[in-house]
Amino acid sequence: MISKERIKQLRALQKKKSRDLKQEFIIEGAKMIEEAIKYAPDNLLQIFGTEPISIALPKHTAFTQIDDRALAQVSALKQPQEQVAVCSYLTPRQAPSDFYLALDTIQDPGNLGTILRLAAWFGVEKVIASRETVDCYNPKVVQASMGAIFNVEVEYLDLQEALAATDLPIYGALIEGENIYQKNISRKGILVMGNEGSGISKSLLPLITDPVTIPQFGKGESLNVAMATAILLSEFSRPRPL
Amino acid sequence: MISKERIKQLRALQKKKSRDLKQEFIIEGAKMIEEAIKYAPDNLLQIFGTEPISIALPKHTAFTQIDDRALAQVSALKQPQEQVAVCSYLTPRQAPSDFYLALDTIQDPGNLGTILRLAAWFGVEKVIASRETVDCYNPKVVQASMGAIFNVEVEYLDLQEALAATDLPIYGALIEGENIYQKNISRKGILVMGNEGSGISKSLLPLITDPVTIPQFGKGESLNVAMATAILLSEFSRPRPL
């Protein structure tokens, strides 16, 4: 059973203000919950579901049985999955790294989720994001990340300050950049991806030491930022001839 | 002005059955209409909008002024753009090619649209798709393609028959494939991408001559099919050391 008050609290977590206040966010579906158990068990606080989860839960994680109606009220999805869970905000790990992805005002939650999933695949442990970038605990970001939110640390900061303070090479995805397939690159540096509509902010451009571009082979007008990130992370990760 | 009957006809084009019957589909927004004017002017039949289009229209293309209410009724988007247009089905161009993308039961319209956009970027002129793949004239596919629908031909066919009949190498994106970064590949052949959940159909597996895989660098559980297509098309298109 779940109280009306608790339903209200959970629904409130769809908004950034309430999330920041409680330092909690929502994940949905067995797959996501399994990822939480695997990578962030301490953060998995409570599960609500019409069905229990088939794998063992951390000792501190309570499971509360709810009906379809309550599930629909609590879920942010049009077609809710069988479980919804509350997680506490993830703790920064501050793992040392020499390759970062930097996001300049990525606004679409689906794009950010996809980019986190790509970062997890390519072993990018930390993403730094401008404060104007969509919140990584936004329900649509969390779902699109397919659990990558538990593997990739996202830090929101003043991107201009952060880029000005580093000695690492700063790669930026720009239309007038060097051909990424021909440029001599190594997986050491910061790769900056810009906003969906306007690209990398003017104020950051002077900080980019290595502008790179994906050459166009056909008539396609553009690549979306998540697709461009996929191709660039692949290029930074793949072995290259000496 | 637009009649109630015409609104009904346009709304019906959101369904495949009606589209196939009329051989017409809907595009939305000035950007898409500009792509149609550029690449398929003959197919651009009629535009309905709260604002006219700022560039010259083909002679045969009528513009009909409508109000916000009618626009909302005609549009498939939650937040309609200022114009909606009717296009006739695109004619197969049968351009000879030796590199094709083959889609085996791609079901998500956003994925198909993104894949078409990638195909357009990487100059893949023809995509062949199993009959179970989502319709390329589905409004969500058309919008996600960002105009690529006008540049990339999509043919629906019996994929098993088509693959059995070719002499080209058949690459398939599979978990147990050769490392795409190490394999000696060339941009000649057919690249098969499988369904979002179940991958390439069992019946097609014996036809794959060259299974390929994108190696995992981090803890990420999976890549979605559009991201994997981005990375693989990049690999097939980029120059490679001899």
Q: Are A116 and A229 found together in one domain?
A: yes
The pLDDT value given to residue A220: 84
In the three-class reduction of DSSP (H, G, I as helix; E, B as strand; rest coil), residue A204 is classed as helix
CATH code (residue B22): 3.30.1330.30
Round the average pLDDT of chain A to a whole number and report it: 95
In the three-class reduction of DSSP (H, G, I as helix; E, B as strand; rest coil), residue B151 is classed as coil
CA distances from B21 to B37, B76, B89 (A): 24, 19, 11
Closest CB from A122, A214, A227 relative to B217: A122
Instruction: Return the residue matching tokens 């002499």.
Output: B167
Which residue of B33, B221, B236, B242 to mutate against A (max A Cβ within 10 Å)? B221
Q: Sign (positive/negative) of CA torsion B81, B85, B89, B94? A: negative
User: Given a cut of 90, is residue A222 above it in pLDDT?
Assistant: no
H-state helical runs in A13-108: 16-22, 30-39, 68-74
Q: Are B68 and B182 found together in one domain?
A: no
Q: How far apart are CA A186 and CA A169, in angstroms?
A: 10
CATH code (residue A171): 3.40.1280.10
Q: Out of B55, B88, B121, pick the residue that ends a domain.
A: B88
CA atoms within 13 A on the CB side of A75: 21
Q: How far apart are CA B63 and CA A98, in angstroms?
A: 55
Q: Quick check: is A233 in a domain?
A: yes
Q: Are A199 and A178 found together in one domain?
A: yes
CA distance B41 to chain A (A): 16
Chain B contact for A175, CB < 8 A? Answer: no
Chain B contact for A179, CB < 8 A? Answer: no
Chain B residues lying within 8 Å of A122, measured CB to CB: 217-218, 220
Chain A residues lying within 8 Å of B224, measured CB to CB: 114, 117, 146
CA distance A222 to chain B (A): 7
The pLDDT value given to residue B241: 72
Residue of B nearest to A116 (CA): B220
The pLDDT value given to residue B242: 52
Instruction: Return the residue matching tokens 């700022």.
Output: B54
Q: Are B117 and B230 found together in one domain?
A: yes
Q: Are B179 and B224 found together in one domain?
A: yes
Nearest to B13 by CA among B61, B76, B99: B76
Q: Quick check: is B93 in a domain?
A: no
Q: Are B37 and B81 found together in one domain?
A: yes
Chain B contact for A235, CB < 8 A? Answer: yes
Chain A residues lying within 8 Å of B239, measured CB to CB: 181-182
CB contacts under 8 A, A 40-99 vs B, are none
Q: Quick check: is A93 in a domain?
A: no
Q: Out of B61, B88, B115, pick the residue that ends a domain.
A: B88
The pLDDT value given to residue B127: 97
- Contact at CB, B117 and A220, closer than 8 angstroms: yes
Q: Quick check: is A94 in a domain?
A: no
The pLDDT value given to residue A242: 52
The pLDDT value given to residue A94: 73
Helices A109-121 and B225-237: crossing angle in degrees, nearest 10, is: 60
Query: What is the value of ipTM here, to two decimals?
Result: 0.93
Q: Are B83 and B108 found together in one domain?
A: no
Closest CB from A39, A151, A227 relative to B118: A227
Convert the pLDDT of each residue in A54-97 to its tens digit.
989 999 999 999 999 999 999 999 889 999 999 999 988 777 78
CA distance A74 to chain B (A): 23
Chain A residues lying within 8 Å of B223, measured CB to CB: 117-118, 121, 230
Look up the domain containing B192 and give its range. 99-237
Q: Quick check: is A180 in a domain?
A: yes
Convert the pLDDT of each residue in A37-58 to its tens digit.
999 999 999 999 999 999 899 9
H-state helical runs in chain A: 4-12, 16-22, 30-39, 68-74, 109-121, 139-144, 159-164, 225-237
Q: Which residues are CB-neighbours of A51 under 8 A, at least 6 positions away? A: A82, A83
Whether the CB-CB separation of B171 and B138 falls below 8 Å is answered with no
Chain A contact for B214, CB < 8 A? Answer: yes
Nearest to B216 by CA among B228, B204, B206, B207: B228
Whether the CB-CB separation of A117 and A145 falls below 8 Å is answered with yes
Q: Are B25 and B105 found together in one domain?
A: no
Q: Quick check: is B181 in a domain?
A: yes
Chain A residues lying within 8 Å of B114, measured CB to CB: 224, 227
CA distance A25 to chain B (A): 21
- Contact at CB, B220 and A114, closer than 8 angstroms: no
Whether the CB-CB separation of A101 and A193 falls below 8 Å is answered with yes
Chain B residues lying within 8 Å of A241, measured CB to CB: 241
Q: Quick check: is B150 in a domain?
A: yes
Q: Out of B54, B88, B122, pick the residue that ends a domain.
A: B88
Chain A contact for B7, CB < 8 A? Answer: no
The gap from C-alpha A120 to its chain's centroid, in whole angstroms, comes to 9
Chain B contact for A117, CB < 8 A? Answer: yes
Chain A residues lying within 8 Å of B39, measured CB to CB: 219
pLDDT tens by residue, chain B, 242 residues: 899 999 999 999 999 999 999 999 999 999 999 999 999 999 999 999 999 989 899 999 999 999 999 999 999 998 899 999 999 999 887 777 899 999 999 999 999 999 999 999 999 999 999 999 999 999 999 999 999 999 999 999 999 999 999 999 999 999 999 999 999 999 999 999 999 999 999 999 999 999 999 999 998 888 999 999 999 999 999 998 75
Q: Quick check: is A218 in a domain?
A: yes
**Total number of domains in chain A:** 2
Q: Are A61 and A151 found together in one domain?
A: no
Q: Are B83 and B116 found together in one domain?
A: no
CA distance A227 to chain B (A): 6
Whether the CB-CB separation of A188 and A220 falls below 8 Å is answered with no
First to last CA, chain A: 62
Q: Are B55 and B131 found together in one domain?
A: no
Q: What is the DSSP string of A168-200?
A: S-EEEEEEEEEETTTS---S-EEEEE-BTTTBS
- Contact at CB, B231 and A226, closer than 8 angstroms: no
Q: What is the pTM of this model?
A: 0.94
Chain A residues lying within 8 Å of B216, measured CB to CB: 121
Q: Which residues are CB-neighbours of A81 under 8 A, at least 6 positions away? A: A28, A29, A30, A75
Convert the pLDDT of each residue in A101-130 to its tens digit.
999 999 999 999 999 999 999 999 999 999
Q: Are A134 and A215 found together in one domain?
A: yes
The gap from C-alpha B173 to its chain's centroid, in whole angstroms, comes to 19
Q: How far apart are CA B32 and CA A74, in angstroms?
A: 37
CA distance A228 to chain B (A): 8
